[in-house]
Amino acid sequence: MTTPSAKTAFLFPGQGAQVVGMGRQFYDQSPAARAVLDQIDRALSRPLTKVMFEGPQDVLQQTVNAQPAIMAVSMACLEAMREKLGPLMPKPSFVAGHSLGEYTALAAAGVLGLEDTARLVQERGRLMQVACDQRPGTMAAVLGLDEAALLDVARETGTYVSNINTAEQTVISGDAAGVAKAMEAATARGARKVIPLKVGGAFHSGLMEPARLGLEQAVGRLAFHDATIPIVANCTGEPLTDAGAVKRELVAQITSCVQWKRSVERMADSGVTQFMEVGPGKALASMVKRIAKDALAVSVGDVESIAAFKPV
């Protein structure tokens, strides 16, 4: 697949990757993954795995369930990889996660233990749901409009640029009226397509301020460690290792734009030639292929893809 000397980054998916049945294969076939999932159930004092394996989908999609579930499956996948690959397991130069996935990244980098990460992610989901109820909002994807034009649209309509995923794919957030105006303005400025998203609120925007305040308190109660692997921050696209800097990043991230394009470019500029998406879905690998065209991007999210991984 690649040479063992290839610089690797592990990427972890965010909310939206959830699907009923995810993680079941790992639970049944990998003792290491099963141990991760059981530990998270114990940490949360509830059978999250039952929701993951059996649904129903509308229950799994609830933010308080979807967020810890995606983190749990991503960490289970990581442990299944270590179990299966042994000495062939790539040693990442960086880790990064998209929004929620940043929490998986900090667990993978040893900033927090698995149980503390699970509880923090569950609290993040709860706080975000409360914020959505207090300050309702929505989001829309914008295709084919550059970042500068999108920022102008946001300023004109009182909305927020919440994700810069690739040069071609961005997301705006705000209240329903503002996002409707922004969609019209983006189309008028030449956007190829605008797509309203089926989400519960205006994530990564100022409407999440109530959640930021609660998250700051939750983060402050935990003992963070310096990262053993640099974590490329959503807010800046720059690598972090200092525990205090990681805390500040998590708190800022909830109301700030996810700079995914900048993050991938930063890793590629630092010599990363192999990006491995670890966990459910394939969205991040697809984005990488549009950003760092010379790099290899693979998704590892099930037993078969782990078995197929063969470094040359």
Is residue 99 among the annotated active site residues? yes
Find the catalytic residue in 30, 74, 93, 99: 99
73 and 30 Cβ atoms separated by less than 8 Å: no
* 3-state DSSP assignment of residue 171: strand
Concatenated DSSP letters for 74-102? HHHHHHHHHHHHGGGS---SEEEESTTHH
Concatenated DSSP letters for 249-309? HHHHHTTS-B-HHHHHHHHHHTTEEEEEEESS-SHHHHHHHHH-TTSEEEEE-SHHHHHH-
Instruction: Give dist(CA 60, CA 19) in Å, integer.
Output: 8
Sheet holding 169-174, edge to edge: 160-164, 169-174, 138-143, 193-196
Find the catalytic residue in 30, 93, 204, 299: 204
Residue 230 DSSP code = P
Opening angle at CA 75, ends 119 and 126, nearest 5 = 30
Nearest alpha carbon to residue 14 among 98, 122, 139, 71: 98
| Environment class of 293 (CB within 10 Å of its CB; exposed 0-12, middle 13-18, buried 19+) | exposed
Is residue 98 among the annotated active site residues? no
CA dihedral (226, 235, 96, 263) in degrees, to 10, reads -120
35 and 79 Cβ atoms separated by less than 8 Å: yes
* 3-state DSSP assignment of residue 163: strand
The residues assigned a catalytic role are 99, 204
